[in-house]
Chain A
Amino acid sequence: QVRLVESGGGVVQPGRSLALSCTASGYTFSNSGMHWVRRTPGRGLEWVAAISHDENEKFYADSVKGRFTISRDQNTLYLQMKSLRTDDAAVYYCARAWSGDLKNAFDIWGQGTMVTVSS
């Protein structure tokens, strides 16, 4: 069964850091490009970052560029978040690019991990 499971969410103060993980199972992780997407009550779904299967390409939304870093190894996707702001609070999802290509739609999603940014 193809599955993605996020972890690492929690409560963090503004300006601090937090690292999210996404563990993949049931398929060959190294063949697939991956994304992070977040959801907030006010802004809905927002694409955050993407990484190609071989890590040669990394892309970021303007709102997180310079503060967030996407990476991967083995069967795990990561999102290192620094200088967190209150508007980074969201449920964060990892998602797989269909057929591995970052140009494709997102065919598998995790259940999400919640990040709360509050003093």
Chain B
Amino acid sequence: EIVLTQSPGTLSLSPGERATLSCRASQSISTSYLAWYQQQPGQGPRLLIYATSSRATGIPDRFSGRGSGIDFTLTISRLEPEDFAVYYCQHYGSAPLITFGPGTKVEI
């Protein structure tokens, strides 16, 4: 099973700033199977990025993803008030070996 580690655990920033979130895998994974989700309190997660760098439908271009091998990054170029949330990376594509990272909270 691939273990995903996210850092930092909490990121304290202000609106307009740039956020860089890291996701590290315990072994090399295909870029085709790495996704990022945003979760607001009381809501289900929302798909932001799939296949490492492809934005899901309706996701603004201030969200971008990159990476390869074991290291992956989600960048939010300019934080909007609605971007303060918890972000999870996910390795998918191989049920039952689907895993999530522990999450990064982006707070004001």
Binding site for B on A (CB under 8 A): 4, 35, 37, 44-47, 50, 57, 59-62, 93, 95, 98, 102-107, 109-112
Assess whether A44 is in contact with B100, with CB atoms less than 8 Å apart: yes
Q: Number of B interface residues, CB 8 Å?
A: 26
Binds A, one of B11-19, B39-47, B68-76: B39-47
The answer to the question of B99 belonging to the interface, with a C-beta cut-off of 8 Å to chain A, is yes
B92 touching A104, Cβ below 8 Å:
yes
Question: Distance in Å from the Cβ of B104 to the closest Cβ of chain A?
Answer: 11
Which residues of B are at the interface with A, using a C-beta cutoff of 8 A?
33, 35, 37, 42-47, 50-51, 56-57, 88, 90, 92-96, 98-103
A104, B93: Cβ atoms under 8 Å?
yes
Taking a contact as CB atoms under 8 Å apart, the answer to whether A105 and B94 are in contact is no
Which A residues are in CB contact (< 8 Å) with B93? 103-104
Given contacts A44-B103, A45-B88, A50-B95, contact A105 B45 (CB under 8 A): no
Given contacts A103-B93, A104-B50, contact A45 B43 (CB under 8 A): no
Of B46, B51, B100, the contact of A47 (CB 8 Å cutoff): B100
Bound-complex Cα distance A98 to B93 (A) = 11
Contacts of B94 in A (CB 8 A): 103
* Contact status A59-B96, CB under 8 Å: yes
A105 touches B100 (CB 8 A): no
How distant is B94 from chain A, measured CB to nearest CB, in Å? 7
Chain B minimum-CB-distance residue to A93: B44
Is there contact, CB below 8 Å, between A50 and B96? yes
**B92 close to A106 (CB less than 8 A):** yes
Instruction: Let me know if B92 and A111 touch, CB within 8 A.
Output: no
- When distances are taken between beta carbons in the complex, the residues of chain A under 8 Å from B44 are 4, 93, 95, 109-112
